[in-house]
């Protein structure tokens, strides 16, 4: 695997390989000394043209815990702010011998284009409203761990499971990556949103569109709420916050109506009181912090698959030593 640009780049065996190695990487977070030599001598540049807390920090931690030289570069502090093109910035850094770029950019498809410019591997850390593959991977990891805690974990964790995704689907890169990855793993995906926030062409996706949020919740094994992205909205996509909450918010009353064992997810940052109530975000069934914790382990696994060479089982076991 040279790059990770989209969730659709991964087939089922590759996905399960990343998730399985992430389980071993997750154990490192509980160690007193969180350091392994798996990527010693490798150089990773986190190049973020959009603001980020969780994604950039988790990639930085992932690289450093595996002993890679990890460097953060933001657009505001680089020559991009002086007018240099993204291509020239990448070519400049690539010529320094960088092994991997982790890139976030506001332009959909920009990260995929960048893969044609450089010698180094590239991980898409979010491009516009297009893709965010490592978020989908960590979401799937969190779901699998949740189900294994509940019932001991069947051989095929995702078959027969239903994931309901609700919120601002129109502007979301998370929904696109999750739909691709979850269907690859065998889960059924329900999409529910105000008509104005449903992506064009969603009816052709391998999902079921559900008009009623309450119906979607009644069928769900996982309820994933996505943030209302006000910064990407140039006009009113729904009449009022109150109407949005009434129709599509995971309120305290909806929380109480969930069937036992339903996991509640949100990739963050959350608009508490809008798409999700504090009661739901902080409930026993909430996997929000599990997702954050999983983010480091999954990104460690992704970086190792890209930079550690082709792995067999014995090599993967040695990666966490």
Give the DSSP letter of residue 4.
B
State yes or no: pLDDT of 273 exceeds 80. yes
- Please name the residues in contact with 101: beta carbons below 8 A apart, sequence gap of 6 or more: 44, 45, 47, 90, 93, 94, 114, 118, 120, 121, 122, 123
Quick one: CA dihedral 254, 255, 261, 262, positive or negative? Answer: positive
Count of residues in the chain: 321
State yes or no: pLDDT of 82 exceeds 90. no
Please give the domain boundaries of the chain with CATH numbers for all domains. 7-131+294-319 (3.40.50.1370), 133-291 (3.40.50.1370)
Give the CA angle between residues 65, 66, 71 to the nearest 5°: 75
State yes or no: pLDDT of 168 exceeds 70. yes
Output the DSSP codes for 240-285: -HHHHHHHH-B-HHHHHHSPTT-EEE--S---BTTTB-HHHHTSTT
Please report, in range form, the residues annotated as the binding site for L-aspartate.
82, 173, 227
Please report, in range form, the residues annotated as the binding site.
54-55, 82, 104, 132, 135, 173, 227, 268-269
Q: What is the mean pLDDT of residues 97-108?
A: 96
Q: From CA 47, how far away is CA 106, in angstroms rounded? A: 12
pTM of the model as a whole: 0.92
Residue 282 corresponds to which tokens in the numbers above? 């902080």
**How many helices, marked H, and strands, marked E, lie in the chain?**
12, 9
**What's the burial of 115, exposed, middle or buried (CB within 10 Å: 0-12/13-18/19+)?**
middle
CB atoms under 10 Å from CB of 37, counted, come to 12
Please report, in range form, the residues annotated as the binding site for carbamoyl phosphate.
54-55, 104, 132, 135, 268-269
pLDDT digits (tens, 9 = 90+) for 41-65: 999 999 999 888 899 999 999 999 9
Displacement of CA 192 from its chain's centroid (Å)? 19
Residue corresponding to tokens 């529910």? 192
Can you give the pLDDT at residue 30?
Answer: 87
Q: What is the mean pLDDT of residues 23-50?
A: 94
Distances (CA, A) of 123 to 90, 132, 263, 318: 13, 9, 28, 23
């Amino acid at each position: 695997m040279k790059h990770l640009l989209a969730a659709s780049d991964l087939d089922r065996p590759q996905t399960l390989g990343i998730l399985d190695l992430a389980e071993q990487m997750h154990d490192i977070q509980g160690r007193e000394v969180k350091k392994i030599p798996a990527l010693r001598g490798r150089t990773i540049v986190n190049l973020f043209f959009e603001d980020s807390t969780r994604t950039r920090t988790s990639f930085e931690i992932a690289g450093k815990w595996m002993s890679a030289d990890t460097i953060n570069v933001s657009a505001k502090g680089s020559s991009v702010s002086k007018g240099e093109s993204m291509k020239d910035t990448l070519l400049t850094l690539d010529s320094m011998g960088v092994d991997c770029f982790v890139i976030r950019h506001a332009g959909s498809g920009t990260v995929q284009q960048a893969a044609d410019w450089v010698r180094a591997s590239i991980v898409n850390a979010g491009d516009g409203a297009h893709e965010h593959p490592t978020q989908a991977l960590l979401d799937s990891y969190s779901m699998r761990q949740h189900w294994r805690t509940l019932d001991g974990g069947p051989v095929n964790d995702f078959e027969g499971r239903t994931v309901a995704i609700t919120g601002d689907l129109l502007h979301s890169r998370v929904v696109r990556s999750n739909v691709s990855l979850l269907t690859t793993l065998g889960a059924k995906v329900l999409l529910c949103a105000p008509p104005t926030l449903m992506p064009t062409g969603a009816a052709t996706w391998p999902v079921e569109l559900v008009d009623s949020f309450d119906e979607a919740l009644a069928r769900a094994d996982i309820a994933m709420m996505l943030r209302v992205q006000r910064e990407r909205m140039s006009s009113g996509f729904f009449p009022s916050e109150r109407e949005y909450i009434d129709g599509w918010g995971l309120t305290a009353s909806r929380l109480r109506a969930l069937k036992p064992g339903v996991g509640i997810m949100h990739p963050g940052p959350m608009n508490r009181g809008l798409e999700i109530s504090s009661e739901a975000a902080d409930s026993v069934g909430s996997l929000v912090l599990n997702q954050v914790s999983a983010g480091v382990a999954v990104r460690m696994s992704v970086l190792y698959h890209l930079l550690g060479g082709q792995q067999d089982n014995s090599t993967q076991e040695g990666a966490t030593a």
